[in-house]
Amino acid sequence: MLVAGSEVPNLLEPHSASTLVVSQDVDVAVPIQRHSEVKARLSRLEGLAPSSEEPSVWLPTDPSRIEVNFIGYDPTETDPTSVRVFEDEALPLMVFGPLSFLRRGRVIDLGDGLLVPVPRNAGLLLEKLVTDRSGVKGDRDLLVALGLVMVATPEDLDELVTTSRSLSRELQHAVRSNLSTLSLLEPIGGMPDPTKERARVAALLERLEREP
C-alpha cells in the first residue's frame, strides 16, 4: 500500500514539515494483487469506520483522524486511460489506470513506529498530470502536482521527463496541457502558490517539449 494523495508533498518536505498542502483526506492506494491482505487487516483500523454509502471511504469516528479513501491500482496495467471497479462487499475499489504509474518510493518514518510508504515522486506527479479533472477539485489536484514539483529532486524530474516521453501523444499533450493550466492558476488558500512557482513550471514545460 502507498499513501498517494495530496498528503505526499507534505510528507516529502524536509522532516515531513507538512507546510504545502491542507488536506481533507488521505488517499491510500492498494495494489489489487494485495487486496485480500489489506482487507484482512481492516479490522485493525482504529478511529475510522466505513461509510455506509461508499465502503471504500472510511470516515473518522475519532475527531483527531481524517477521512481515508482506499483506491485501487494495478502496477501491471498497460492502459493508463482505463478505469474499472474492483467489486468486493467489504472493500470495493476504483482501479484508476493513471495510478499504474505509481512505483514504491521511500518509507517515511514519522516517529512512534509510524512508517508511511509513499510513491516515487515522478510516478505520482505523472498520475496527477495525465488525469483529466475539472473545477475546484481539478485546480486543487494541479496544485498538489505543483507541491510535488516543488519537492522534486533533479533525478525525480529526469524520471518524469523520461517516462512521459514513453506515453502516447495524447497523454504527453495532457501532461503539457495540465502544466500550462497550472501556470495560470490563481492561488488557493492552504495550497502551494502557483504565482510564485511559474518559472519552475515553465522550465519543466520546456524540458518536456524539447526533443529527446
Partner 1 sequence: MRSLEARAKAFRARVRVRAWEARQLRGAKGTWYRLRRTLARAQDAFAVDALVIDELLAEGYLREPVGDELEPTRSYVFVPPERAEAIRDRRRLALRLSAELLAAPNVVLVPFALGPRSHDDVAKLR
Within residues 181-200, the interface with partner 1 by CB under 8 A covers 181, 183-186, 195, 198-199
Size of the site for partner 1 (CB under 8 A): 37
Residue 149 engages partner 1 in binding (rule: CB under 8 A): no
Q: In this structure, how many other beta carbons lie within 10 angstroms of the beta carbon of residue 63?
A: 7
Residue 44 or 210: which CB sits closer to partner 1?
210
Cell numbers given for 158:
529526469
Give the max Cα distance, the chain: 52
Nearest distance in Å: CB 186, partner 1: 6
Separation CA 8–CA 3 (nearest Å): 7
Vertex 58, ends 91 and 9: CA angle to 5°? 105
Task: Give the range of 17-25, 33-41, 82-90, 106-114 binding partner 1 by CB under 8 A.
Answer: 82-90
Residue 126 engages partner 1 in binding (rule: CB under 8 A): no
Among 68, 179, 191, 192, binds partner 1 (CB under 8 A): 179
Residue 75 or 92: which CB sits closer to partner 1?
92
Residue 16 or 181: which CB sits closer to partner 1?
181
Q: What is the DSSP string of 103-157?
A: -EEEEEE-STT-EEEEE-HHHHHHHHHHS---HHHHHHHHHHHHHHHHH--HHHH
Nearest distance in Å: CB 177, partner 1: 5
Separation CA 23–CA 211 (nearest Å): 37
Residue 202 engages partner 1 in binding (rule: CB under 8 A): yes
Residue 69 engages partner 1 in binding (rule: CB under 8 A): no
The b/e string for 83-97 (b: 16+ C-beta within 10 A; e otherwise) is eeebeeeebbbbbbb
Residue 137 engages partner 1 in binding (rule: CB under 8 A): no
Contact 134, 117 (CB under 8 A): no
Residue 39 engages partner 1 in binding (rule: CB under 8 A): no
Q: Find the distance separating the first CA and the last CA of the chain, reported in whole Å.
A: 34
Residues making contact with partner 1 (CB under 8 A): 53-54, 56, 81, 83-85, 87, 92-94, 96, 132-134, 169-170, 173-174, 176-177, 179-181, 183-186, 195, 198-199, 201-203, 205-206, 210
